[in-house]
Amino acid sequence: MRPLLLIPILAGTLLLASCETMSKDACLQGDWAGVGFKDGEAGRPQSRLDDHAKACAKAGVAPDPAPYFAARDQGLKLYCTPPRGFQEGRQGNGYAGVCPERIEGDFLAAYADGKLVHAAASRLNQAMSDRDSADRRAEKRDRDARGVEDELRNPKLNDEQKHELRDRLNRLRSEQRSAVEDGRRAEWARRDAEREVDALEHRFAPVYGGW
């Protein structure tokens, strides 16, 4: 079982991509059929052409809608399939409602299956992160506590200093135990999520192919 790796995308990057959809050279080249096909294959909405128009206005170029939309329809034929729907859902991608009604039902059913995998993989990744964080916290508290124990061996300490160090040691050991318990709970959650991901892979791999 290979858990899905979730890659966060900065909102600023998305904003920049939505404003600058084409380079000046691409605008001047004017391959609107090629651009339309790629947009269709990527499942982008019709409004994507408006974004291209804004990007190309700086170069003094206006899009040609006819070849763009004709090629976009061809690209959508590759996008609006159950395997692609499953892939989009599994990766946590959104759906812009671009598929023709006659084939949208099958796409959306597969997309929903993919979302199940995405949700389970997200829980698995979160549990693994929580466990690792708890382990690091427990290790740090243990190191700090050992340091305090070393300080307590100093024969020059007065009673007040010893009292303060013992209080600090008790707090550190308490926090360490709490972190260890958090790690155990996260490990249980990880095992549950891993079993869920494995079950979904066993269920869906024969239908959509392995991942």
Q: Six-digit token pair at 28?
A: 């001047």
Using the predicted structure, report yes or no on whether residue 6 has a pLDDT greater than 50: no
Q: Which domain holds residue 71?
A: 11-79
pLDDT, tens digit (0-9, with 9 covering 90-100), for 165-198: 999 999 999 999 999 999 999 999 999 999 999 9
User: Looking up tokens 């671009």, which residue turns up?
Assistant: 98
Percent of the chain with pLDDT over 70: 90
The total of structural domains in the chain comes to 2
CB-count exposure of residue 53 (10 Å: 0-12, 13-18, 19+): middle
- pLDDT tens digits, 63-100: 999 999 999 999 999 999 999 999 999 999 999 999 99
Per-residue model confidence (pLDDT) at position 14: 38
Q: Pull the structure tokens for residue 94.
A: 């959104």
d(CA 120, CA 74): 33
User: Could you tell me if 182 and 169 lie in one domain?
Assistant: yes
Maximum CA pair distance of the chain? 89
Is 104 in contact with 77 (CB distance < 8 Å)?
Answer: no
86 and 69 together in one domain: no
101/19 Cα distance (integer angstroms): 29
What the block records as the tokens of 25 is 């050279």
Classify residue 171 by burial, with Cβ atoms within 10 Å: 0-12, 13-18, 19+: middle
Give residue 20's pLDDT band: very low, low, confident or very high (50, 70, 90): confident
Query: Alpha carbon 81 to chain centroid distance?
Result: 23
pTM greater than 0.85: no
For residues 39 and 73, is the Cβ–Cβ distance under 8 A? no
Is residue 6 in some structural domain? no
Please say which residue of 79, 94, 122 terminates a domain: 79
Task: State residue 44 phi and psi, 5-degree precision.
Answer: -85, 150
Q: Are residues 85 and 75 in the same domain?
A: no
Q: Comparing 12-21, 27-36, 43-52, 172-181, which segment has the lowest mean pLDDT?
A: 12-21
